[in-house]
């Protein structure tokens, strides 16, 4: 499963990527996380607030560090 974390390298973006890695490990899911820090690409997804999360090419979350449960829901 491929998950993209969009954000210009701010603390919350890192926290988001770390959270997804952790939850995936707990749930025993195989994920590859791609951090997208280039502003042009971020804007290309149409998000206005970061960090944002893209799962399967679709923006599922934006503007905050997601909750544990949200991440779990994306993984399933």
Partner 1 sequence: MSADISSPRPARPDWLWHAGLVAFVAVWWLVYRQLIPLAEGITSLFPVDRHSHTGEALAFFFYDVPKVMMLLTLIVFAMGVVRSFFSPERTRALLAGKREGVGNVLAAGLGVMTPFCSCSAVPLFIGLVSAGVPLGVTFSFLIAAPMVNEVALALLFGLVGWQVAMTYAAFGLVIAIVAGWVIGRLHLEGWLQDWVRDIHSGATAPDASGDTPLTLVDRYRLGIEAVREIFGRVWFWIILGIGMGALIHGYVPEDLMARIMGADAWWSVPAAVVIGIPMYTNAAGVIPIVEALLGKGAALGTVLAFMMSVIALSLPEMIILKQVLTLRLIAVFIGVVGSGILAVGYLFNFLF
Binding span for partner 1 by CB under 8 A among 16-24, 28-36, 67-75: 67-75
- From the number of C-beta atoms within 10 Å of its C-beta (0-12, 13-18, 19+), residue 41 rates as exposed
Binding span for partner 1 by CB under 8 A among 15-23, 28-36, 65-73: 65-73
Q: How many Å apart are CA 5 and CA 13, to the nearest integer? A: 7
**Binding flag, residue 48, partner 1 (CB under 8 A):** yes
Q: Which residues are at the interface with partner 1 (CB under 8 A)?
A: 7-8, 10, 12-13, 39-40, 42-50, 52, 59, 61-64, 66-67, 69-70, 73
């Amino acid at each position: 499963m491929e998950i993209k974390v969009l954000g210009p390298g701010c603390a919350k973006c890192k926290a988001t990527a770390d959270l997804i890695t952790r939850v995936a490990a707990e749930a025993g899911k195989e994920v590859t996380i791609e951090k997208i820090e280039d502003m042009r690409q971020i804007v290309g997804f149409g998000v206005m607030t970061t960090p944002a999360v893209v799962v399967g090419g679709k923006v599922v979350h934006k503007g905050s560090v997601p909750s544990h449960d949200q991440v779990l829901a994306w993984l399933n």
